[in-house]
């Protein structure tokens, strides 16, 4: 594919104090497959060893693997712009807690920061705390409603019956959200924050709690855009995430789909190359491919 200036994806991590957000951030950075920028309210527990670069709206320091950690000191919109100019990340992770309510963050990212696109919203729920303190406050409700995927973390501290109570509680506020059950946030970060788009998409198994799988679809044929949009609306629930390149008659697009939300971004795609990931998605592969074939010219 030809190189093009695409919007930088941004993932939001929400959750109450002590739920596991820093643990998840450490996991992402420990398996970094691209240049991440992690934006937090303060450096806190992340390993910061090198010199801090002090800017107008954000303080930036280098981490392992070329990633950077950024501490917010000004407005979010200005801070993200500063990160893009100074650090040139391939993906931004934003820790929601302590900055704003999750729904307000989603609005700000989608409406006020044109150089980024919302990739996914991950909410971490502390299973043990949810059982001991079952009341859900405004911030918790906001996080659950905004989430594309919920990690029920610390399931080793509660019973199976307790876990089902937590799931039911989550479903009260977001009936269709994808739910993964984890210990120390041990879910595949590729499922949570997408697969890096390479020059040629490779189908690869995706491991983690929730039996996620994946498959790739490619075709040199041009697709009818209206038919494709219609096909997306009929994808089965097993498709949690899909991304890649789509070639229509009049234009090419960078395509991103997560938990029912689809985005199309202008991109000089020469053909269609998509990868699908989700819970047992392979069983629906034939039906999904048939929907896509109907879109071909």
Token pair listed for 66? 């070329």
Q: Which residue ranges form the domains of the chain, and what is each CATH number?
A: 8-191 (3.40.50.300), 199-293 (3.30.1220.10)
Give the model's confidence band at 265: pLDDT under 50 very low, under 70 low, under 90 confident, else very high. Answer: confident
Chain segment 270-285, per-residue pLDDT in tens: 899 998 888 788 899 9
Rounded-to-10 torsion of CA 132, 137, 139, 144: 70
What pLDDT, in 10s, does the model give residues 183-229? 998 887 777 887 654 433 444 444 344 557 788 899 999 999 999 99
Could you list the beta-strand ranges (E) of 203-291. 212-219, 241-247, 252-258, 261-266, 272-279
Structure tokens given for 208: 């983690």
**Calpha distance 91→196 (Å, rounded):** 9
**Which residue(s) pair with 246 in the sheet?**
253
Mean pLDDT over 144-163 rounds to: 92
Q: Which of 154-168, 195-209, 240-254 has the lowest mean pLDDT?
A: 195-209
Task: State mean pLDDT over 227-241.
Answer: 91
Q: Please, which pLDDT band fits residue 57 given cuts at 50, 70 and 90?
A: low
Q: So what's the pLDDT on residue 7?
A: 86
Which of the pair, 240 or 194, is modelled with greater confidence? Answer: 240
- Using DSSP's 3-state secondary structure scheme, residue 188 falls into coil
Give the range among 48-62, 69-83, 99-113, 151-165 with minimum mean pLDDT.
48-62
Residue 195, pLDDT score: 60
Strand partners, 81: none
The answer, as to whether pTM is greater than 0.75, is yes
Separation of CA 6 from chain center: 17
Token duo for residue 135:
């009341």
Cα separation, 123 vs 171, in Å, equals 13
Two structure tokens written together for 210: 């929730």
The DSSP annotation for 11-57 comes to EEEEE-TTSSHHHHHHHHHHT-SS-EEEEESS-TTS---SPPEE-SS
Highest mean pLDDT (candidates 2-6, 62-66, 169-173, 241-245): 169-173
Torsion over CA of 17, 12, 164 and 154, rounded to 10 degrees?
A: -50
Mean pLDDT of the chain: 82
Per-residue model confidence as pLDDT tens digits over 92-145: 998 876 445 778 888 888 888 889 988 889 999 999 999 999 888 888 888 899
The pLDDT tens digits for 63-84 are: 666 787 887 777 888 889 988 9
* Residue that has been written with the tokens 């990739």 in this structure: 119
């Amino acid at each position: 594919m030809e190189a093009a200036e695409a919007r930088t994806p941004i993932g939001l991590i929400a959750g109450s104090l002590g739920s596991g957000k820093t643990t998840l951030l450490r996991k992402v950075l420990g398996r970094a497959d691209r240049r991440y920028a992690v934006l937090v309210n303060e450096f806190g527990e992340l390993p910061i060893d090198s010199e801090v670069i002090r800017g107008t709206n954000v303080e930036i320091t280098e981490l392992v693997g070329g990633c950077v950690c950024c501490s917010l000191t000004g407005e979010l919109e200005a801070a993200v712009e500063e990160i893009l100019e100074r650090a040139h990340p391939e993906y931004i992770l934003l820790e929601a807690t302590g900055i704003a309510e999750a729904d307000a963050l989603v609005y700000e990212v989608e409406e006020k920061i044109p150089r980024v696109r919302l990739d996914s919203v991950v909410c971490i729920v502390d299973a043990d705390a949810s059982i001991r303190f079952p009341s859900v406050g405004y911030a918790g409700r906001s996080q659950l409603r905004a989430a594309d995927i919920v990690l029920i973390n610390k399931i080793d501290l509660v019973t199976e019956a307790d876990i089902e109570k937590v799931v039911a509680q989550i479903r009260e506020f977001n009936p269709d959200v994808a739910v993964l059950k984890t210990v120390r946030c041990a879910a595949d970060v590729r499922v949570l924050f997408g697969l890096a788009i390479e020059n040629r998409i490779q189908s690869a198994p995706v491991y983690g709690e929730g039996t996620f799988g994946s498959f790739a679809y490619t075709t040199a044929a041009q697709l009818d855009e209206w038919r494709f949009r219609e096909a997306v609306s009929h994808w089965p629930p097993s498709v949690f995430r899909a991304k890649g390149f789509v070639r229509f008659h009049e234009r090419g697009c960078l395509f991103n789909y997560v938990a029912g939300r689809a985005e199309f971004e202008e991109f000089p795609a020469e053909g269609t190359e998509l990868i699908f990931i989700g819970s047992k998605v392979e069983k629906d592969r034939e039906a999904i491919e048939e929907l896509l074939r109907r879109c071909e010219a």
